[in-house]
């Protein structure tokens, strides 16, 4: 079976020019980020698929008290149509009060499904304990389940979690570092010295020498106007500049579960000889029955008879020449009929021998 390989985008562009990318796709502004929000609430209106945990009953009782309904002491409202849930969302930067954001709702108890439920008003808090949004709305659940009378059950996807598009209204803004100081910091999504140098050179070439300077492999300092009305068009100009980012380092990524192997363009192998062979052991058992003679008062005896068979494929050796490329690696491994798992073992052996000049990452 041929090895299935996924080639990186850079490999597909070997014969052509490297495509330029915008700065907005390569870097982000330091301090301008999303913030996580979380809350605790109740989902009601379920068709008997809610949970039966004690804290759900306590939450429902507290809700009824706030609504002016006092239950008798010791009463536990065990409603199967209610579920306790956690609500979380990401608060994007620059979002203003009155705008809406999406929320995700997940069951905290033993609810079987949240399908058809509605989330009651739930405050969403940040890490500082302040309320930044209020959530409420009807859930959209992608999973579902079905139960039979004999206890069997079929579940598709996850019915105990759902989303509410535009389900939270923002109540408070979060300050960021966009309008602070006389400069901004651009952080690369993938740290690389070459890309950082080219990015600062692109900005200096367009806006003048000394406008930008590389701090390290990840950060570029850019002098910016203090006036927000000037800083916005200034950054708009910068983020649309194009440059050719530095090529990725030589790396081999192996997914041990699916057998997928991703090999970068610059992977090279030093001179090495590799042998490949498989040894398989098969054990089979046949039962032999010993039947006593009639009227002998003997007992029937069953004796297992084990048969062990060992088979070994012919070991084949192949040689890697100096500086062999990715195409040569794939061709050599395919010629010996190695499976994806065998390829992983070969690459690990080459790495241990110092013949693989690349980072080997197994996930």
| pLDDT tens by residue, 302-338 | 766 655 555 555 555 556 555 556 566 666 666 656 6
- Residue 120, pLDDT above cutoff 80: yes
What pLDDT is attached to residue 16? 40
Q: Which two tokens stand for residue 327?
A: 């195409």
**Top CATH class, 20-32+177-243:** alpha beta
**Residue 55 is encoded by which pair of tokens?**
């804290």
**pLDDT 10s digits, 253-305:** 777 666 677 777 677 666 666 665 554 445 555 666 677 777 667 677 776 66
More confident of the two residues 313 and 24: 24
Q: How many CA atoms lie within 13 A of 341 on its CB side?
A: 4
CA angle 160, 163, 167 (to 5 degrees): 135
From the CB of residue 139, how many other CB atoms can be counted at a distance below 10 Å?
22
Residue 112 confidence (pLDDT): 86
What CA–CA distance (Å, rounded) separates 320 from 37? Answer: 54
253 phi-psi bin (left φ>0, alpha ψ -120 to 50, beta other): beta
Nearest to 24 by CA among 196, 171, 238, 222: 238
- Write the pLDDT tens digit of every residue in 157-215: 788 899 999 999 999 988 887 887 888 999 999 888 999 999 999 999 999 898 999 99
Give the integer Cα–Cα distance in Å for 342 and 335: 13
pLDDT of residue 330: 67
**Domain-wise residue ranges, the chain:** 20-32+177-243, 35-170, 251-362
Whether the CB-CB separation of 104 and 146 falls below 8 Å is answered with: no
Q: What is the pLDDT of residues 27-63, one digit of tens each?
A: 998 888 899 999 999 999 888 888 888 888 888 888 8
What is the pTM assigned to this prediction? Answer: 0.66
Q: What is each CA distance from 112 to 41, 151, 164, in whole angstroms? A: 17, 14, 19
| pLDDT tens-place string over residues 85-101 | 999 999 999 999 999 99
């Amino acid at each position: 079976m041929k090895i299935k390989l996924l080639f990186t985008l850079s490999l597909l562009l070997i014969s052509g020019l490297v495509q330029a990318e915008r700065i907005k796709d390569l870097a982000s502004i330091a301090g301008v980020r999303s913030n996580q929000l979380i809350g605790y609430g109740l989902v009601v209106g379920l068709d008997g698929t809610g949970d039966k945990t004690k804290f759900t009953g306590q939450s429902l009782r507290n809700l009824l008290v706030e609504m002016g309904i006092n239950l008798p002491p010791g009463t536990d409202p065990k409603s199967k149509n209610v579920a306790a849930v956690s609500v979380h969302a990401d608060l994007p930067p620059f979002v203003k009060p009155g705008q809406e954001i999406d929320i995700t709702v997940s069951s905290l108890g033993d609810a079987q499904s949240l399908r058809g439920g509605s989330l009651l008003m739930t405050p969403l808090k940040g890490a500082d304990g302040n309320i930044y949004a209020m959530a409420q709305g009807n859930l959209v659940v992608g999973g579902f389940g079905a139960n039979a009378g004999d206890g069997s059950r079929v579940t598709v996807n996850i019915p105990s979690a759902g989303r509410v598009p535009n389900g939270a209204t923002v109540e408070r803004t979060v300050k960021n570092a966009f309008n602070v100081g006389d400069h901004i910091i651009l952080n690369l999504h993938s740290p690389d010295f070459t890309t950082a140098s080219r990015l600062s050179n692109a900005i200096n070439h367009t806006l003048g020498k000394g406008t930008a300077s590389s701090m390290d492999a990840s950060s570029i300092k850019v002098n910016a106007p203090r006036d927000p009305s000037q800083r916005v068009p200034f950054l708009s100009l910068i983020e649309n500049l194009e440059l050719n980012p530095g090529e990725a380092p030589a790396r081999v990524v192996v997914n041990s579960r699916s057998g997928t192997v991703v090999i970068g363009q610059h992977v090279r192998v030093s001179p090495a000889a590799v042998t490949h062979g498989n040894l398989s052991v098969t054990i089979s058992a046949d039962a032999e029955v010993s039947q006593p003679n009639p009227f002998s008062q003997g007992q029937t005896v069953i004796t297992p008879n084990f048969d062990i068979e060992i088979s070994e494929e012919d070991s084949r050796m192949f040689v890697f020449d100096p500086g062999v490329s990715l195409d040569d690696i794939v061709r050599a491994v395919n010629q010996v009929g190695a499976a994806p798992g065998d390829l992983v073992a070969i690459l690990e052996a080459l790495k241990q021998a110092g013949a693989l000049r690349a980072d080997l990452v197994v996930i």
